[in-house]
Homo-oligomer: A and B are copies of this chain.
Protein backbone atom coordinates (compact mmCIF):
# COMPACT_ATOMS: atom_id res chain seq x y z
CA UNK A 1 0.00 0.00 0.00
CA UNK A 2 0.89 3.68 -0.18
CA UNK A 3 0.54 6.43 2.41
CA UNK A 4 0.00 10.19 2.29
CA UNK A 5 1.15 12.92 4.66
CA UNK A 6 0.17 16.59 4.83
CA UNK A 7 0.85 19.71 6.92
CA UNK A 8 -1.69 22.23 8.15
CA UNK A 9 -1.99 25.46 10.15
CA UNK A 10 0.83 27.82 11.04
CA UNK A 11 4.34 26.44 10.42
CA UNK A 12 6.75 25.66 13.25
CA UNK A 13 10.49 25.03 13.23
CA UNK A 14 9.94 21.29 13.49
CA UNK A 15 6.86 20.60 11.35
CA UNK A 16 9.29 19.34 8.69
CA UNK A 17 11.03 17.10 11.22
CA UNK A 18 7.68 15.39 11.83
CA UNK A 19 7.26 15.02 8.08
CA UNK A 20 10.72 13.46 7.98
CA UNK A 21 9.77 11.08 10.80
CA UNK A 22 6.73 9.87 8.85
CA UNK A 23 8.88 9.50 5.73
CA UNK A 24 11.72 7.62 7.39
CA UNK A 25 9.52 5.20 9.31
CA UNK A 26 7.41 4.47 6.22
CA UNK A 27 10.50 4.07 4.04
CA UNK A 28 11.83 1.43 6.41
CA UNK A 29 8.64 -0.62 6.32
CA UNK A 30 8.34 -3.06 3.44
CA UNK A 31 4.53 -2.97 3.52
CA UNK A 32 4.63 0.66 2.29
CA UNK A 33 5.53 1.40 -1.31
CA UNK A 34 4.99 5.09 -2.15
CA UNK A 35 5.01 7.93 0.39
CA UNK A 36 3.00 10.84 -1.02
CA UNK A 37 3.20 14.40 0.22
CA UNK A 38 -0.09 16.25 -0.20
CA UNK A 39 0.54 19.92 -1.03
CA UNK A 40 -1.22 22.55 1.08
CA UNK A 41 -2.76 20.16 3.55
CA UNK A 42 -5.92 18.28 2.73
CA UNK A 43 -6.35 20.51 -0.34
CA UNK A 44 -3.59 18.59 -2.10
CA UNK A 45 -5.74 15.46 -1.90
CA UNK A 46 -8.79 17.27 -3.26
CA UNK A 47 -6.84 19.06 -6.01
CA UNK A 48 -4.72 16.09 -6.98
CA UNK A 49 -1.48 17.79 -5.95
CA UNK A 50 0.59 14.94 -4.58
CA UNK A 51 4.34 14.48 -4.80
CA UNK A 52 6.27 11.25 -4.36
CA UNK A 53 8.54 12.05 -1.42
CA UNK A 54 10.88 9.16 -2.20
CA UNK A 55 11.92 10.97 -5.37
CA UNK A 56 12.93 14.21 -3.63
CA UNK A 57 14.24 12.83 -0.33
CA UNK A 58 16.63 10.56 -2.14
CA UNK A 59 19.41 10.35 0.46
CA UNK A 60 20.42 11.27 4.01
CA UNK A 61 21.73 14.66 2.90
CA UNK A 62 18.37 15.73 1.53
CA UNK A 63 16.68 14.40 4.65
CA UNK A 64 19.04 16.48 6.80
CA UNK A 65 18.14 19.57 4.76
CA UNK A 66 14.42 18.91 5.24
CA UNK A 67 14.96 18.65 8.99
CA UNK A 68 16.47 22.15 9.16
CA UNK A 69 14.19 23.83 6.59
CA UNK A 70 11.84 26.47 8.09
CA UNK A 71 8.19 26.74 7.13
CA UNK A 72 5.95 23.92 5.98
CA UNK A 73 7.83 22.18 3.17
CA UNK A 74 4.64 20.69 1.70
CA UNK A 75 2.76 23.95 2.11
CA UNK A 76 -0.04 24.45 4.56
CA UNK A 77 -3.71 25.39 4.59
CA UNK A 78 -6.33 26.64 7.00
CA UNK A 79 -9.43 24.66 6.18
CA UNK A 80 -12.05 23.63 8.67
CA UNK A 81 -13.74 20.51 7.35
CA UNK A 82 -17.53 20.22 7.49
CA UNK A 83 -19.17 17.24 9.16
CA UNK A 84 -19.36 14.25 6.80
CA UNK A 85 -23.15 14.42 7.03
CA UNK A 86 -23.12 18.08 5.90
CA UNK A 87 -21.01 17.46 2.80
CA UNK A 88 -20.86 13.76 1.98
CA UNK A 89 -19.63 14.51 -1.55
CA UNK A 90 -16.44 16.11 -0.23
CA UNK A 91 -15.64 13.02 1.81
CA UNK A 92 -16.53 10.72 -1.08
CA UNK A 93 -14.13 12.71 -3.24
CA UNK A 94 -11.32 12.23 -0.70
CA UNK A 95 -12.09 8.50 -0.50
CA UNK A 96 -11.93 8.29 -4.29
CA UNK A 97 -8.54 9.93 -4.36
CA UNK A 98 -7.25 7.64 -1.67
CA UNK A 99 -8.49 4.63 -3.65
CA UNK A 100 -6.95 5.97 -6.86
CA UNK A 101 -3.54 6.31 -5.20
CA UNK A 102 -3.97 3.17 -3.09
CA UNK A 103 -3.48 5.25 0.07
CA UNK A 104 -3.99 3.07 3.12
CA UNK A 105 -3.02 5.62 5.75
CA UNK A 106 -3.06 9.40 6.00
CA UNK A 107 -0.99 11.46 8.45
CA UNK A 108 -2.02 15.01 9.26
CA UNK A 109 0.56 17.21 10.98
CA UNK A 110 -1.19 20.14 12.58
CA UNK A 111 -3.05 21.73 15.49
CA UNK A 112 -6.65 21.72 16.69
CA UNK A 113 -8.26 22.05 13.28
CA UNK A 114 -6.13 19.27 11.84
CA UNK A 115 -7.12 17.01 14.74
CA UNK A 116 -10.73 17.85 13.97
CA UNK A 117 -10.09 16.80 10.35
CA UNK A 118 -8.31 13.66 11.57
CA UNK A 119 -11.30 12.73 13.72
CA UNK A 120 -13.87 13.43 10.98
CA UNK A 121 -11.94 11.62 8.25
CA UNK A 122 -11.34 8.54 10.35
CA UNK A 123 -15.00 8.46 11.40
CA UNK A 124 -16.01 8.73 7.76
CA UNK A 125 -13.73 5.89 6.64
CA UNK A 126 -15.06 3.73 9.48
CA UNK A 127 -18.61 4.55 8.43
CA UNK A 128 -17.97 3.25 4.91
CA UNK A 129 -16.09 0.21 6.24
CA UNK A 130 -12.88 1.43 4.63
CA UNK A 131 -9.60 0.15 6.09
CA UNK A 132 -7.94 3.59 5.60
CA UNK A 133 -6.23 4.80 8.79
CA UNK A 134 -5.99 8.46 9.73
CA UNK A 135 -3.48 9.65 12.35
CA UNK A 136 -2.87 13.18 13.70
CA UNK A 137 0.66 14.36 14.44
CA UNK A 138 0.52 17.31 16.86
CA UNK A 139 2.15 20.62 15.97
CA UNK A 140 1.86 24.11 17.41
CA UNK A 141 4.18 26.66 18.97
CA UNK A 142 1.31 27.59 21.31
CA UNK A 143 1.59 24.35 23.33
CA UNK A 144 -2.16 24.44 23.81
CA UNK A 145 -3.24 21.01 22.60
CA UNK A 146 -5.11 18.89 25.15
CA UNK A 147 -3.98 15.51 26.46
CA UNK A 148 -0.29 15.88 25.68
CA UNK A 149 2.50 17.06 27.98
CA UNK A 150 3.64 19.49 25.28
CA UNK A 151 3.50 19.93 21.51
CA UNK A 152 6.24 19.65 18.88
CA UNK A 153 7.17 23.17 17.83
CA UNK A 154 6.80 24.68 21.27
CA UNK A 155 10.31 23.86 22.52
CA UNK A 156 11.95 25.51 19.50
CA UNK A 157 9.80 28.62 19.77
CA UNK A 158 10.63 28.78 23.48
CA UNK A 159 14.33 28.40 22.70
CA UNK A 160 14.13 31.20 20.12
CA UNK A 161 12.38 33.30 22.71
CA UNK A 162 14.82 32.75 25.58
CA UNK A 163 17.93 33.20 23.41
CA UNK A 164 16.47 36.32 21.80
CA UNK A 165 15.26 37.68 25.12
CA UNK A 166 18.75 37.26 26.59
CA UNK A 167 20.17 39.21 23.65
CA UNK A 168 17.57 41.96 23.96
CA UNK A 169 18.27 42.25 27.69
CA UNK A 170 22.02 42.62 27.05
CA UNK A 171 21.35 45.26 24.42
CA UNK A 172 19.05 47.23 26.74
CA UNK A 173 21.56 47.03 29.60
CA UNK A 174 24.08 49.05 27.58
CA UNK A 175 22.62 52.39 28.61
CA UNK A 176 22.65 54.02 31.99
CA UNK A 177 19.20 55.57 31.65
CA UNK A 178 15.97 54.22 33.12
CA UNK A 179 14.15 52.40 30.34
CA UNK A 180 11.31 49.97 29.78
CA UNK A 181 11.29 47.41 26.96
CA UNK A 182 8.07 45.55 26.23
CA UNK A 183 8.31 42.33 24.24
CA UNK A 184 5.08 41.08 22.68
CA UNK A 185 4.94 37.31 22.27
CA UNK A 186 2.55 35.05 20.34
CA UNK A 187 -0.32 33.42 22.23
CA UNK A 188 -3.91 34.58 22.04
CA UNK A 189 -5.45 32.45 24.78
CA UNK A 190 -2.55 30.40 26.10
CA UNK A 191 0.53 32.00 27.66
CA UNK A 192 2.91 29.04 27.51
CA UNK A 193 5.36 30.74 25.18
CA UNK A 194 5.48 34.01 27.09
CA UNK A 195 5.82 32.09 30.35
CA UNK A 196 8.83 30.18 29.03
CA UNK A 197 10.90 33.40 29.26
CA UNK A 198 11.21 32.60 32.95
CA UNK A 199 14.01 30.24 31.84
CA UNK A 200 16.35 33.27 31.76
CA UNK A 201 16.35 32.86 35.53
CA UNK A 202 18.57 29.82 35.07
CA UNK A 203 21.29 32.10 33.69
CA UNK A 204 21.10 34.36 36.76
CA UNK A 205 19.13 37.01 34.89
CA UNK A 206 16.36 38.96 36.66
CA UNK A 207 14.72 39.85 33.33
CA UNK A 208 12.04 39.65 32.15
CA UNK A 209 11.12 41.53 35.31
CA UNK A 210 7.43 41.26 34.54
CA UNK A 211 5.58 38.50 32.67
CA UNK A 212 1.90 38.83 31.75
CA UNK A 213 -0.20 35.97 30.42
CA UNK A 214 -3.75 35.81 29.04
CA UNK A 215 -4.48 33.43 31.93
CA UNK A 216 -3.69 36.14 34.50
CA UNK A 217 -6.07 38.67 35.97
CA UNK A 218 -4.62 41.91 34.67
CA UNK A 219 -5.31 45.57 35.20
CA UNK A 220 -3.65 48.52 33.51
CA UNK A 221 -3.43 50.19 36.92
CA UNK A 222 -1.56 47.16 38.24
CA UNK A 223 0.72 47.05 35.20
CA UNK A 224 1.78 50.67 35.64
CA UNK A 225 2.37 50.12 39.36
CA UNK A 226 4.40 46.99 38.59
CA UNK A 227 6.59 48.93 36.15
CA UNK A 228 7.06 51.82 38.58
CA UNK A 229 8.05 49.35 41.28
CA UNK A 230 10.58 47.51 39.13
CA UNK A 231 12.12 50.80 37.97
CA UNK A 232 13.10 51.44 41.60
CA UNK A 233 15.33 48.36 41.61
CA UNK A 234 16.35 48.07 37.96
CA UNK A 235 17.60 50.64 35.51
CA UNK A 236 16.34 48.54 32.62
CA UNK A 237 12.96 46.90 33.01
CA UNK A 238 12.00 44.23 30.49
CA UNK A 239 8.37 43.12 30.21
CA UNK A 240 7.14 39.99 28.41
CA UNK A 241 3.48 40.11 27.40
CA UNK A 242 1.28 37.68 25.44
CA UNK A 243 -0.43 39.19 22.41
CA UNK A 244 -3.77 38.01 23.79
CA UNK A 245 -3.52 39.78 27.16
CA UNK A 246 -6.53 41.80 28.20
CA UNK A 247 -6.19 44.49 30.84
CA UNK A 248 -9.64 44.59 32.36
CA UNK A 249 -9.67 48.27 33.31
CA UNK A 250 -8.24 49.45 29.97
CA UNK A 251 -10.32 50.54 27.05
CA UNK A 252 -7.80 49.12 24.66
CA UNK A 253 -10.08 47.17 22.38
CA UNK A 254 -9.66 49.99 19.88
CA UNK A 255 -5.90 49.74 20.12
CA UNK A 256 -5.79 46.31 18.56
CA UNK A 257 -4.71 45.78 15.01
CA UNK A 258 -6.93 47.11 12.30
CA UNK A 259 -9.52 48.74 14.53
CA UNK A 260 -10.88 52.12 13.57
CA UNK A 261 -11.66 54.86 16.05
CA UNK A 262 -14.64 57.18 15.92
CA UNK A 263 -12.78 59.56 13.63
CA UNK A 264 -11.98 56.81 11.17
CA UNK A 265 -8.30 56.70 12.06
CA UNK A 266 -6.67 53.33 11.96
CA UNK A 267 -5.02 52.07 15.09
CA UNK A 268 -2.32 49.75 13.96
CA UNK A 269 -0.93 48.51 17.18
CA UNK A 270 -1.12 45.38 19.28
CA UNK A 271 -0.86 45.08 23.03
CA UNK A 272 2.90 45.79 23.06
CA UNK A 273 2.49 49.18 21.37
CA UNK A 274 -0.49 49.93 23.58
CA UNK A 275 1.50 49.30 26.77
CA UNK A 276 4.47 51.21 25.34
CA UNK A 277 2.23 54.22 24.89
CA UNK A 278 0.85 53.82 28.40
CA UNK A 279 4.37 53.84 29.86
CA UNK A 280 5.36 56.82 27.72
CA UNK A 281 2.41 58.95 28.76
CA UNK A 282 1.89 57.80 32.36
CA UNK A 283 5.47 57.12 33.50
CA UNK A 284 7.46 59.13 31.00
CA UNK A 285 10.72 57.20 30.80
CA UNK A 286 12.42 55.85 27.68
CA UNK A 287 10.27 53.01 26.37
CA UNK A 288 10.29 50.66 23.40
CA UNK A 289 8.14 47.73 22.29
CA UNK A 290 9.25 44.75 20.24
CA UNK A 291 6.96 42.34 18.43
CA UNK A 292 8.71 39.04 17.80
CA UNK A 293 6.25 38.25 15.04
CA UNK A 294 6.82 35.33 12.63
CA UNK A 295 10.39 34.84 13.82
CA UNK A 296 9.00 32.93 16.81
CA UNK A 297 7.80 30.14 14.62
CA UNK A 298 10.24 30.16 11.69
CA UNK A 299 13.71 30.64 13.27
CA UNK A 300 14.87 27.11 12.50
CA UNK A 301 18.48 28.05 13.10
CA UNK A 302 17.51 28.30 16.79
CA UNK A 303 15.43 25.12 16.94
CA UNK A 304 15.71 23.06 20.10
CA UNK A 305 17.50 19.77 19.48
CA UNK A 306 15.10 18.04 21.86
CA UNK A 307 12.13 19.42 19.97
CA UNK A 308 13.56 18.35 16.60
CA UNK A 309 14.22 14.83 17.86
CA UNK A 310 10.80 14.54 19.44
CA UNK A 311 9.02 15.93 16.37
CA UNK A 312 10.68 13.29 14.24
CA UNK A 313 9.97 10.57 16.80
CA UNK A 314 6.28 11.43 16.99
CA UNK A 315 6.05 11.28 13.19
CA UNK A 316 7.65 7.84 13.24
CA UNK A 317 5.35 6.69 16.04
CA UNK A 318 2.33 7.82 14.03
CA UNK A 319 3.30 5.49 11.19
CA UNK A 320 3.75 2.58 13.61
CA UNK A 321 0.36 3.32 15.16
CA UNK A 322 -1.36 3.27 11.77
CA UNK A 323 0.38 0.02 10.84
CA UNK A 324 -0.87 -1.43 14.12
CA UNK A 325 -4.42 -0.58 13.09
CA UNK A 326 -4.98 2.63 15.02
CA UNK A 327 -7.07 5.38 13.45
CA UNK A 328 -8.59 8.67 14.57
CA UNK A 329 -5.81 9.10 17.12
CA UNK A 330 -3.50 12.03 17.86
CA UNK A 331 -0.03 11.05 19.02
CA UNK A 332 0.88 12.51 22.43
CA UNK A 333 3.78 12.92 24.84
CA UNK A 334 3.48 11.55 28.34
CA UNK A 335 6.19 12.90 30.63
CA UNK A 336 7.69 10.21 32.83
CA UNK A 337 10.21 12.42 34.61
CA UNK A 338 11.64 15.95 34.48
CA UNK A 339 15.19 15.08 35.41
CA UNK A 340 16.46 12.98 33.84
CA UNK A 341 13.96 14.03 31.22
CA UNK A 342 12.00 11.13 29.82
CA UNK A 343 8.82 11.05 27.74
CA UNK A 344 6.74 8.22 26.34
CA UNK A 345 4.83 8.59 23.12
CA UNK A 346 1.21 7.52 23.43
CA UNK A 347 -1.98 8.50 21.61
CA UNK A 348 -5.43 9.86 22.34
CA UNK A 349 -8.74 10.02 20.50
CA UNK A 350 -8.22 12.96 18.13
CA UNK A 351 -11.80 14.11 18.70
CA UNK A 352 -10.93 14.78 22.34
CA UNK A 353 -8.25 17.28 21.35
CA UNK A 354 -10.04 18.90 18.42
CA UNK A 355 -11.99 21.57 20.19
CA UNK A 356 -10.29 22.08 23.53
CA UNK A 357 -7.42 24.36 24.50
CA UNK A 358 -4.89 23.69 27.23
CA UNK A 359 -4.01 26.94 28.99
CA UNK A 360 -1.08 27.68 31.31
CA UNK A 361 -1.61 26.37 34.86
CA UNK A 362 -2.81 29.15 37.13
CA UNK A 363 -0.80 27.68 40.02
CA UNK A 364 2.41 28.55 38.14
CA UNK A 365 1.41 32.22 37.92
CA UNK A 366 2.69 34.28 40.87
CA UNK A 367 -0.08 35.70 43.12
CA UNK A 368 0.66 39.23 41.85
CA UNK A 369 -0.19 37.94 38.32
CA UNK A 370 3.03 39.42 36.94
CA UNK A 371 5.56 36.57 37.14
CA UNK A 372 5.96 32.82 36.73
CA UNK A 373 6.88 30.74 39.75
CA UNK A 374 10.01 28.57 39.96
CA UNK A 375 7.73 25.52 39.92
CA UNK A 376 7.39 25.94 36.13
CA UNK A 377 11.14 25.73 35.47
CA UNK A 378 11.48 21.91 35.55
CA UNK A 379 8.63 21.72 33.03
CA UNK A 380 10.25 24.12 30.55
CA UNK A 381 13.95 23.23 30.91
CA UNK A 382 14.18 19.99 28.93
CA UNK A 383 11.99 21.27 26.08
CA UNK A 384 14.45 23.98 24.97
CA UNK A 385 17.57 21.91 25.52
CA UNK A 386 20.18 21.39 22.86
CA UNK A 387 21.53 23.38 19.94
CA UNK A 388 21.25 21.38 16.71
CA UNK A 389 24.08 21.20 14.19
CA UNK A 390 23.12 23.26 11.14
CA UNK A 391 24.47 22.71 7.62
CA UNK A 392 25.63 26.03 6.17
CA UNK A 393 26.99 27.41 2.92
CA UNK A 394 28.75 30.79 3.19
CA UNK A 395 27.08 31.41 6.52
CA UNK A 396 23.55 30.67 5.25
CA UNK A 397 21.64 27.65 6.58
CA UNK A 398 20.88 25.29 3.70
CA UNK A 399 17.26 24.48 2.94
CA UNK A 400 15.32 22.22 0.60
CA UNK A 401 12.36 23.02 -1.66
CA UNK A 402 9.94 20.11 -2.05
CA UNK A 403 7.56 22.05 -4.27
Partner-B contacts on A (CB < 8 A): 7, 10-11, 40, 43, 69-72, 75-78, 159, 162-164, 166-168, 170-176, 199, 202-203, 258, 261, 263, 265-269, 273, 276-277, 280, 288, 290-291, 293-295, 297-302, 304-305, 381, 384-387, 390, 392, 394-397, 399
Find the B residue at minimum CB distance from A300.
B167
| Cβ-defined partner of A295 (8 Å) among B164, B266, B280 | B164
Copies in the complex: 2
Min C-beta distance of A7 to chain B, whole Å = 8
A258 to B291, CA, bound (A): 17
Task: List 27 A-B residue pairs with CB atoms under 8 Å apart, sorted by A's residue number.
Answer: A10-B174, A11-B170, A43-B176, A70-B166, A70-B167, A71-B172, A71-B174, A75-B174, A163-B396, A167-B294, A167-B298, A171-B294, A172-B294, A202-B394, A202-B396, A265-B267, A268-B268, A268-B277, A290-B293, A290-B294, A291-B291, A295-B295, A384-B394, A384-B395, A386-B395, A387-B392, A387-B395
List the 8 closest pairs (A to B, CB-CB), nearest first: A71-B170, A171-B298, A76-B174, A72-B174, A70-B170, A167-B298, A70-B167, A268-B269
Contact A396 B166 (CB under 8 A): yes
Which chain B residues border A159 with CB–CB below 8 Å? Answer: 395
B273 touches A268 (CB 8 A): yes
* Given A265-B263, A385-B394: A170 and B75 interface contact (C-beta under 8 Å): no
| Distance from A388 Cβ to chain B, minimum over Cβ atoms (Å) | 9
Structural contact, B298 and A75, CB atoms closer than 8 A: no
**Cβ-neighbour of A301 out of B167, B173, B297 (below 8 A):** B167
A386 to nearest B CB, angstroms? 5
| Residues of chain B with a CB closer than 8 A to A258's CB | 280
* A302 CB contacts on chain B under 8 angstroms: 301
Rounded to whole Å, the gap between the CB of A274 and the closest CB of chain B is 8
Nearest-CB distance from A280 to chain B (Å)? 8
With both beta carbons as reference points, the residue of chain B lying nearest to A265 in the complex is identified as B265
Nearest B residue to A40 via CB reads: B176
- Chain B residues positioned under 8 Å from A69 (CB to CB): 170
Picked from B163, B386, B399, the residue with its CB within 8 Å of the CB of A166 is B399
| Interface contact B395-A304, CB-CB below 8 Å | yes
Output the nearest chain B residue to A162 by Cβ-Cβ distance. Answer: B396
- Count chain B CB atoms within 10 A of each CB in A43, A172, A266, A267 and give the residue with the most: A266
Q: Residues of B contacting A396 with CB < 8 Å?
A: 162-163, 166, 199, 202-203, 384
A171 contacts B70, CB within 8 Å? yes
User: Chain B's nearest CB lies how many Å from the CB of A234?
Assistant: 14
> Closest B-chain residue to A272, C-beta based?
B268
Are B305 and A399 closer than 8 Å at their CB atoms?
A: no
Residue of B nearest to A281 (CB): B266
Q: How far is the CA of A7 from the CA of B170 in the complex (A)?
A: 14
A208 shortest CB reach to chain B, Å: 14
Closest CB in chain B relative to A30 CB, distance in Å: 33
Q: Which residues of B contact A297 (CB under 8 A)?
A: 171
Docked complex Cα distance between A395 and B385 (Å): 5
**19 other A-B residue contacts (CB within 8 Å) besides A168-B294, A265-B265:** A11-B174, A69-B170, A72-B174, A75-B173, A75-B174, A77-B175, A163-B301, A163-B396, A164-B295, A164-B299, A202-B394, A203-B396, A268-B268, A268-B269, A268-B276, A290-B295, A386-B394, A386-B395, A387-B392
